[in-house]
Amino acid sequence: MQIRARDLGKTFYQNGHQRGRETQAYAGLDFDVAPGEFLCILGPIGCGKTSLLRTLAGLEKPSSGELHIAPGEAAAPRVGMVFQEHGLFPWMTVRDNVRFLLEGDAQPGDLDGRVKQALADVGLTDFAAYYPHQLSGGMCQRVSIARSFAGEPDILLMDEPFVFLDYQTRLALQALLLDLWRRQRSTVVFVTHDIEEAVLLADRILVLGPRPGYIRREIAVDIPRPRRVPETTLEPHFRALVAEVMDVLRVGEAVEPAP
């Protein structure tokens, strides 16, 4: 397994110490993620999705349980992350934003080629010399995705990267993400509130219950790949899976996790 979590929990304390008021973000999480799997995490606001993603990224330490992340070809796994905001450096061009992430990870003679290919992959070759403020929100997220995949991560963590985009741009970037993932097959953990997005992208969905987040159900998405956007979203089996996930989220919203 690429990722293995056992009885994983995260508690935050007011004022940063245990004598302050505590809030459990999530508790008792048991799940695995296989190499090359596309896992979506879906659940209501405040159920600990982003906190869990930050834990997987090493930005937070779990308060309880065990987390094991298997190494890639290097001594430690290469982990990339794409946030809701694009996180580009405003003083750097598109080319330099991608290059910055790759510096130290490639031989000098190979670096320019990787940057050029990364921008070509997301359709931004003609915008290499532009600055972030000259681009649309969707184009900035393309740059963010480009530099993440260019780093060839073993694990790519994505925190609602399309949440602020309009519908058409969102569909275009979902299609782009599926294509890049199909070619590179990084292990992806993708947080979203959007049921259709989760069914479209995932091999498997973890549906979390309300805080403290717990796994209410795991749902396998048995839609064949490659998936076409938006054609796949119109298929009867896709609609049935969306309805199934929606039922899981609706039923028992006030029910506490079993002890």
- pLDDT tens across 160-193, in order? 999 999 999 999 999 999 999 999 999 999 999 9
- Among 207, 158, 189, 243, smallest CA distance to 44 is for 207
- Comparing 1 with 29, the larger pLDDT belongs to 29
The reported pLDDT for the residue numbered 111 is: 86
140-144 CB contacts, 8 Å cutoff, 24+ apart: 140/86, 140/88, 141/82, 141/86, 141/165, 141/173, 142/173, 142/176, 143/86, 143/88, 143/94, 143/97, 143/98, 144/82, 144/83, 144/86, 144/87, 144/88
With cut-offs at 50, 70 and 90, classify the pLDDT of residue 253: low
Alpha-carbon gap, residue 224 to 169, rounded angstroms: 24
- How would residue 106 be classed by pLDDT, with cut points 50, 70 and 90? low
> How far apart (Å, rounded) are the C-alpha atoms in residues 133 and 130?
8
pLDDT tens sequence across 26-54: 999 999 999 999 999 999 888 999 999 99
H helix or E strand, kind and range, residue 249: helix 236-250
pLDDT at 225 over 50: yes
The pTM assigned to this predicted structure is 0.91
- With beta carbons less than 8 A apart as the criterion, state whether 163 and 115 touch: no
The reply to whether omega before 62 is within 30° of 0 (cis) is no
Q: Which domains are present in the chain?
A: 1-78+153-259 (3.40.50.300), 85-152 (no CATH)
Please give the average per-residue pLDDT across 120-145, as a whole number.
95
